[in-house]
A and B are shown apart, each in its own frame.
Chain A
Amino acid sequence: DAKTTQPNSMESNEEEPVHLPCNHSTISGTDYIHWYRQLPSQGPEYVIHGLTSNVNNRMASLAIAEDRKSSTLILHRATLRDAAVYYCILRGSTTSKLIFGTGTLLAVQP
């Protein structure tokens, strides 16, 4: 499974945008980039995923570098509810399991 690298922690202010980076320099051409987050005392929840093009949904946007060696999860207006551990995960085309790394702990200040 290809590896991702994320900062251990980040801080943001409420109602400001947050950019969570992820490096995946060994990504293969068929790996999808997935983001999940885990709120305190809950199971992980899906945020967004993409292959090559930038993606938007109601929760966030995913910006993927042209060479696909990095990506950025964008929360457009952080709320206190967005405080969580965010995981960037690569999933190959021949598997469905997710291998979680250590993720980024996002703190949101009021």
Chain B
Amino acid sequence: DSGVTQTPKHLITATGQRVTLRCSPRSGDLSVYWYQQSLDQGLQFLIQYYNGEERAKGNILERFSAQQFPDLHSELNLSSLELGDSALYFCASSVGGLGPRTGELFFGEGSRLTVL
């Protein structure tokens, strides 16, 4: 158990819909990261937040957005869903947010999204 909690574990929805994935980081961790893993793309970095502020952005689509709340939990919002958005979405957390002080990343078990 990494200490990172993701909900829901599984989600099935239809094209055009909107979903929200939730992540609670490990106690004391200030950074939250979102990754997408699909069969053809591997693990893709989406976005990082550090203490409520966006710190780094990766290959995140405009239809996707995220935020980190004052209690440090984070939500990833996916809208206008397409078949290709079906994937495992991982959240990770770390103590720090920059370079060597970051520490290791702890990953949750993921949320599996299926878009029909």
A93 (CB) vs chain B CBs: closest residue = B99
Q: Are A44 and B56 in contact (CB under 8 A)?
A: no
CB contacts (< 8 Å) of A36 on chain B: these are 105
B104 (CB) vs chain A CBs: closest residue = A46
Q: Are B109 and A42 in contact (CB under 8 A)?
A: yes
B31 to chain A, nearest CB (A): 6
Which interface class (under 10, 10 to 19, 20 to 34, 35 or more) fits B? Answer: 20 to 34
CB contacts (< 8 Å) of A45 on chain B: these are 2, 106-107
Q: Are B56 and A95 in contact (CB under 8 A)?
A: yes
Q: Are B105 and A46 in contact (CB under 8 A)?
A: yes
CB contacts (< 8 Å) of B2 on chain A: these are 43, 45
Tell me whether A98 and B98 are in contact in the complex, defined as CB-CB below 8 angstroms, given that A44-B107, A46-B106 are known contacts: no
| Interface residues as binary, A68-110 with B (CB distance below 8 Å gives 1, 0 otherwise) | 0000000000000000000100011111111111100000000
Q: Are A97 and B33 in contact (CB under 8 A)?
A: yes
B106 (CB) vs chain A CBs: closest residue = A46
Tell me whether A96 and B56 are in contact in the complex, defined as CB-CB below 8 angstroms, given that A43-B90, A45-B2, A102-B42 are known contacts: yes
Q: Are A100 and B43 in contact (CB under 8 A)?
A: yes
| Residue B58, interface by CB 8 Å | yes
The 7 closest A-B pairs by CB, nearest first: A43-B107, A96-B102, A46-B104, A100-B43, A93-B99, A97-B56, A43-B90
30 contacts between A and B (CB under 8 A): A36-B105, A38-B43, A42-B109, A43-B4, A44-B107, A45-B2, A45-B106, A45-B107, A46-B104, A46-B105, A46-B106, A49-B104, A91-B99, A91-B102, A92-B99, A93-B99, A94-B98, A96-B31, A96-B48, A96-B50, A96-B56, A96-B96, A96-B102, A97-B48, A97-B58, A98-B45, A100-B43, A100-B44, A101-B42, A102-B42
Q: A44-B92, A97-B58 are in contact. List 17 more A-B contacts (CB 8 A).
A: A32-B100, A43-B4, A43-B107, A43-B108, A44-B43, A46-B104, A46-B106, A91-B102, A93-B100, A95-B56, A96-B96, A96-B102, A97-B56, A98-B33, A100-B35, A100-B45, A101-B42
